[in-house]
Structure 1
Amino acid sequence: MKKHTVSTFYSVVVLIFLLLVSPNLSAKKRCKPLLEKLHNAQMMQRKSYSLKRGQSLREKEDKARDKWWQCENSSLSTFKSKYGTKKKKVKKNKKKQKNTSHYAKLNKAILNSSKKRVTFNQDSAIVIKSKYQGDKKLAWLQFYQQPIQCQRPKSINVFAYCSEDKLQQRDIFEQKYTQ
Structure 2
Amino acid sequence: MPGEVLHFSEDPTITRFNPHVAATARQPDAYVWAVDHGRAPDYWFPRQCPRAMAWAEATTDADDRAWLGSPRVHAIEYGWLRRVQTARLYAYRFDAGPFRPIGDPPHAHVATEAVEPLGAPEPVGDLLALHEEAGIELRVVADLWPFWRRVTASTLGFSGIRLRNAAREPG
Please state which band the TM-score falls in when normalised by the shorter chain.
under 0.3
TM-score scaled by structure 2?
0.20
Higher share in strand? 2
Structure number with the bigger relative contact order (C-alpha 8 A, sep ≥ 6) is 2
- Give 1 or 2 for the bigger CA radius of gyration: 1
Higher share in helix? 1
TM-score scaled by structure 1?
0.20
